[in-house]
Amino acid sequence: MGQPWEPDELGKTIAGVARDLLAQPTLQDTLDRIVHHAIRVVDGCEFAGILSVRDGQVQSLAASDDGVVTSDRIQGELREGPCFDAARRVSEIYRLPDLAAARDRWPRYVPRALELGIGGMMSFLLYTDDTRENLGALDLYSSGPDAFTPRSEHTGWLLASHAAVAFAGARRQGQLHEAITTRQDIGEAIGILMERYKITRDQAFELLKKASQDRNVKLRELARSVTETGEAPLG
């Protein structure tokens, strides 16, 4: 559970969190560290997670325990809940120190959450710019009511702001790495086909593309298979 911080110490702590998040090698490592730091620095937070809603589907991107994953799943099934709403940009922040008091707002979710041992929640929309690209929601939980205070909300908001920047940066880095790897795989697969069939680069690419369409397999996956096995995508 997070400990109270003096203002200057809080600033130093959040700065340290930001540096740690930016130092993570992968997107998943970044998400897992966000959850770790939420429990460490936000007063009253006992468990935490990051929930995403894409095309109406809920996904737990990171979670401190199975209870968080279960809460996410329930919200996805019921199509309601503070995390579900926050991830869809309904609100930047939900602070619910006593979850039971929110029964009228989420009449189906709240009873299920109480059964899971959730007494209070906070949810923060993760975004990085004026367009508010939807990255998901950072969700913080307490087992008992009244654990989250305005100070908890302030700390959570600071953490969410830095978390969103780190999240977006790690995702862009991952996408760039994937794009470079895909180009390399396709280039190598084309080289294998050129050598195998004594054809031009354009012909090899068309052969690879046609095989991808015929087999209903993504081009990058087929190219990776060719590079790994050396087998041509024919027949």
> pLDDT digits over 142-178, tens only?
999 999 999 999 999 999 999 999 999 888 887 776 7
| Residues 40-70: tens digit of each pLDDT | 999 999 999 999 988 888 999 999 999 999 9
Whether 3 has a pLDDT exceeding 70, the answer reads: no
Mean pLDDT of the chain: 88
Average pLDDT of the segment spanning 74-92: 86
Average pLDDT of the segment spanning 85-99: 82
pTM for the predicted model, two decimal places:
0.75
The pLDDT value given to residue 223: 87
Whether 5 has a pLDDT exceeding 70, the answer reads: no
Q: Which pair of tokens denotes residue 168? A: 């977006």
**183 falls in which pLDDT band (50, 70, 90)?**
confident
Percentage of residues of the chain with pLDDT beyond 90: 53
